[in-house]
């Protein structure tokens, strides 16, 4: 039984005496038995730099694989040597001294080497994203005052465009081979900045969260000790670098001698995730619950994951149905962990679940405290709420983020000194929670207008400012709407003002030049007036549910013209929760996103037994384009000679509907 001890069946004395929940302690005891040999990350080890801790792992595990992708793998020694060369390239360009260095890379291995190289050079890194609009990347560069961009051959054109005349760039896969690869040896203080990660800002501008080396090592200490991360582990990396969870996965692996395995979720989709987890023998899986839901929906029920010992959730609320999915698809040797944290503090609570854990409510608790971190639940008047009452979650610790870069007023509004002193501070999360008698905390959502979309923190105000300012709308409000099963999508309600009614295609395309895809509303609803409370504020609870009808688009509606298009339209309607789909409509203009696109591909696999590459969908995201991709994928399996006949199944299609395919009239004979 998972709750049994290592000594043959009797429950041991719980190794976590601070937990009053016997069930929780029992599951954690099973975790300790399952992982075997484990080296504790001690408190004293946070008083160093990240580079120091990493270099110690290089000495312990010189030939062990540190990072492995489908294209590359590097040992700890090779990764360290690459990071040292990058550090010297940065120092040659910028000289010594703490400052921001921007990262804009496609290669996952080079990205990780660059992160370490920047830290070894005594700088701090700021991740950019190639998929972000140039305006947003430019803002991050200007706000962080980064003078240099580290890039690679796949991203160098974008880096040159962003650099313009006021900053330089270094292409890391060209020109560093002649630099020395031994350790740089700079003395770096635990107090020095490590990185700045940007989150959405309610004032209309992103805000950069500053973490130093000590804070990063402290949350890695808690993550390591809580999950018993060791050198034999193989950790997944599904997040992009701008997300704090990516830093957690990366450093949890590389500061413990484990191996890190990046997976390009956007390109590969969740339908391929199961096979990848099995093939790569991943032991620790980490994602937001919405990605997990899409992943398990693609499983046939016969899969086995013998290496997987931990499924770790964070970033979104976990539902009872998520626990049921875990208990249905994974072995008794695999434990589910629901964690809670923010970019400002990272891991603050953990709740451990096994096959025998019963969750009675719709929401799964976020559990019990980690070391050196306390949670206060306060009322609007600042008083602590009674046990069982609902209050704002405020986190007290000596290891909170240093604040928001260049924004003292915003920092002072979110952080304050603890009345208990001792260097402890308090962070106002804006989240609501309820504490049980045994100290178990349940997260109950937000008290403000912030929304979590696929694990990303979105301030609705940032989008509203743009809708009012750039689009001339008289009024606008953006909310997170639950479309069922815990799936949150952004919905924008607006009063158009003097401008003609915009179509959803134009709005989404315009916003895509400003915001990352997760910040673009899925649905736009025009109203004559926004509902208001008696005191004049927008009454968000009175906003009407978004309609299931096809929105106004730039494309003229043309209905499905073949049995295949009819079948695909049915899948789109179910996934998008919409009642009408045209063959020329863009999936994304209809409110789709990368995760929903992966669900479409997964349903194709389960209904017609065809594994259409997700990249084909992104290349031609219309119903007709997907139909072409389906028949061309069939042709690849049946023989290229069949492609002309199969393409006739799609009325009006041509070979150039999918880039990289033979154009119409040029198909192989």
The CATH code of the domain that includes 636 is 1.10.1200.10
Lowest mean pLDDT across 199-203, 294-298, 460-464: 199-203
The answer as to whether 527 is a domain residue is yes
Mean predicted lDDT score pLDDT of the chain: 87
Average pLDDT over residues 472-484: 86
d(C-alpha 289, C-alpha 134), whole Å = 29
Instruction: For the sheet with 207-212, list strands across it.
Output: 168-171, 148-151, 100-104, 124-127, 193-199, 207-212, 403-404
Sign of CA dihedral 117, 118, 123, 125: negative
What would the pLDDT profile of 491-505 be if each residue is shown by its tens digit? Answer: 999 988 777 788 899
> What CATH number is given to the structural domain containing 459?
3.30.300.30
Please report the pLDDT score of residue 658 as a whole number: 41
Percent of the chain exceeding pLDDT 70 equals: 89
Of 646 and 76, more confident: 76
Which DSSP string corresponds to 182-245? S-------TTSEEEEEEE--TTSS-EEEEEEHHHHHHHHHHHHHHHT--TT-EEEE-S-TTSHH
Average pLDDT over residues 306-310: 96
- Give 86's Cβ-side CA count (13 Å radius): 33
Average pLDDT over residues 582-611: 90
d(C-alpha 459, C-alpha 46), whole Å = 32
Average pLDDT over residues 526-543: 83
Closest CA to 97 of 169, 193, 176, 165: 193
Lowest mean pLDDT across 241-250, 463-472, 522-531: 463-472
Q: Are 420 and 362 in contact (CB under 8 A)?
A: no
Helix-strand-coil percent breakdown of the chain, rounded to 5?
Answer: 35, 20, 45
Q: What global pTM score does this model have?
A: 0.83
Same domain, 480 and 530: yes
Domain hosting residue 609, numbered range: 563-657
Please report the pLDDT score of residue 616 as a whole number: 86
d(C-alpha 652, C-alpha 646), whole Å = 13
The count of structural domains within the chain is 2
Q: Which residues of 218-247 are buried (b: 16+ CB within 10 A; e: fewer)?
A: bbbbbbbbbbbbbbebbbbbbbbbbbbbbb
Same domain, 538 and 617: no
d(C-alpha 95, C-alpha 101), whole Å = 12
Please report the pLDDT score of residue 184 as a whole number: 97
Tokens of 138: 């430019």
Q: Are 138 and 144 in contact (CB under 8 A)?
A: no
Same domain, 529 and 567: no
Per this entry, what is the length of the chain? 669
Residue finishing a domain among 510, 542, 574: 542
Q: How far is CA 461 from CA 52, 80, 450, 478, 599, in A?
A: 41, 42, 8, 8, 30
What would the pLDDT profile of 550-561 be if each residue is shown by its tens digit? Answer: 998 999 999 999
d(C-alpha 451, C-alpha 446), whole Å = 8
d(C-alpha 355, C-alpha 335), whole Å = 8
Residue finishing a domain among 483, 509, 542: 542
Lowest mean pLDDT across 112-121, 251-260, 412-421: 412-421
Q: Are 400 and 345 in contact (CB under 8 A)?
A: yes
Sign of CA dihedral 652, 656, 660, 661: positive
The answer as to whether 198 is a domain residue is no
Please report the pLDDT score of residue 496 as a whole number: 83
Beta 168-171 vs 148-151: how paired, if at all? parallel
Quick one: how far is CA 189 from the chain centroid?
Answer: 29
> Within 10 Å of residue 178's Cβ, how many Cβ atoms?
7
Average pLDDT over residues 243-255: 96
The answer as to whether 320 is a domain residue is no
Predicted confidence (pLDDT) at residue 641 exceeds the cutoff of 60: no
What would the pLDDT profile of 152-210 be if each residue is shown by its tens digit? Answer: 999 999 999 999 888 999 999 887 889 999 999 999 999 999 999 999 876 678 999 99
Tokens of 359: 């969750």
The answer as to whether 602 is a domain residue is yes
Please report the pLDDT score of residue 203 as a whole number: 65
């Amino acid at each position: 039984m998972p709750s049994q001890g290592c000594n043959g069946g009797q429950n041991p004395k719980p190794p976590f005496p601070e937990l009053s929940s016997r069930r929780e302690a029992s599951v954690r005891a099973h975790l300790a038995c399952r992982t075997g040999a484990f080296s504790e990350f001690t408190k004293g080890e946070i008083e160093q730099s990240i580079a120091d801790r990493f270099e110690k792992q290089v000495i312990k595990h010189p030939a062990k694989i540190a990072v492995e992708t489908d294209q590359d793998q590097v040992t700890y020694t090779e990764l360290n040597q690459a990071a040292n060369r990058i550090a010297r390239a940065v120092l040659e360009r910028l000289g010594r001294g703490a400052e921001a260095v921007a990262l804009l890379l496609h290669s996952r291995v080079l990205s990780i080497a660059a992160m370490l190289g920047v830290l070894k050079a005594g700088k701090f890194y700021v991740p950019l994203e190639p998929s972000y609009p140039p305006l947003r990347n430019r803002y991050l560069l200007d706000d962080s005052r980064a003078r240099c961009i580290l890039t690679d051959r796949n991203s160098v054109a974008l880096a040159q465009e962003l650099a313009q005349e006021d900053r330089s760039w270094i292409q890391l896969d060209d020109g560093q081979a002649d630099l020395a690869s031994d350790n740089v040896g700079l003395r770096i203080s635990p107090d020095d900045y490590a990185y700045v990660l940007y989150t959405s800002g309610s004032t209309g501008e992103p805000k950069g969260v500053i973490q130093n080396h000590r804070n990063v090592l402290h949350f890695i200490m808690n993550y390591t000790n809580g999950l018993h991360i060791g050198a034999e582990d193989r950790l997944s990396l599904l997040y992009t670098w701008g997300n704090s969870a990516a830093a957690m996965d990366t450093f949890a692996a590389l500061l413990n001698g484990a191996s890190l395995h990046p997976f390009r979720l956007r390109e590969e989709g969740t339908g391929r995730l199961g096979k990848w987890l099995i093939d790569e023998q991943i032991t620790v899986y980490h994602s937001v619950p919405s990605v997990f839901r899409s992943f398990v929906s693609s499983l046939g029920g016969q899969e086995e994951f013998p290496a997987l010992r931990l499924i770790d959730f964070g970033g979104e609320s976990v539902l009872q149905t998520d626990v049921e999915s875990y208990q249905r698809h994974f072995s008794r040797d695999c434990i589910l962990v629901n964690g809670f944290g923010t970019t400002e503090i990272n891991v603050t609570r953990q709740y451990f679940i096994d096959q025998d854990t019963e969750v009675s409510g719709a929401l799964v608790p976020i559990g019990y405290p980690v070391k050196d971190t306390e949670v206060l639940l306060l009322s609007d008047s600042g008083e602590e709420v009674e046990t069982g009452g609902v209050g704002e979650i405020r986190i007290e610790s000596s290891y909170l983020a240093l604040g928001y870069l260049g924004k003292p007023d915003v920092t002072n509004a979110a952080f304050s000194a603890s009345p208990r002193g001792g260097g402890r501070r308090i962070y106002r999360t804006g989240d609501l929670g309820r504490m049980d008698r045994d100290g178990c905390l349940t997260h109950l959502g937000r008290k403000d207008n912030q929304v979590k979309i696929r694990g990303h923190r979105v301030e609705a105000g940032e989008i509203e400012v743009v809708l009012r300012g750039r689009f001339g709308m008289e009024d606008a409000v953006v909310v997170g709407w639950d479309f069922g099963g815990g799936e949150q999508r952004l919905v924008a309600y607006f009063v158009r003002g003097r401008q003609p009614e915009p179509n959803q295609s134009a709005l989404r395309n315009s916003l895509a030049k400003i915001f990352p895809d997760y910040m673009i509303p899925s649905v736009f609803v025009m109203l004559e007036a926004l509902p208001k409370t008696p005191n004049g504020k927008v009454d968000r609870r009175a906003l009407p549910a978004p309609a299931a009808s096809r929105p106004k688009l730039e494309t003229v509606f043309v209905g499905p013209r073949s049995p295949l298009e009819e079948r695909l339209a049915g899948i789109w309607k179910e996934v998008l929760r919409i009642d009408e789909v045209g063959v020329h409509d863009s999936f994304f203009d209809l409110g789709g996103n990368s995760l929903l696109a992966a669900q479409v591909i997964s349903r194709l696999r389960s209904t017609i037994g065809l594994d259409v590459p997700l990249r084909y969908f992104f290349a031609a995201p219309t119903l007709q384009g997907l139909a072409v991709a389906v028949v061309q994928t069939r042709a690849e399996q049946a023989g290229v000679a069949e492609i002309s006949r199969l393409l006739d199944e799609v009325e009006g299609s041509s070979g150039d509907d999918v880039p990289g395919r033979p154009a119409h009239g040029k198909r192989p004979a």
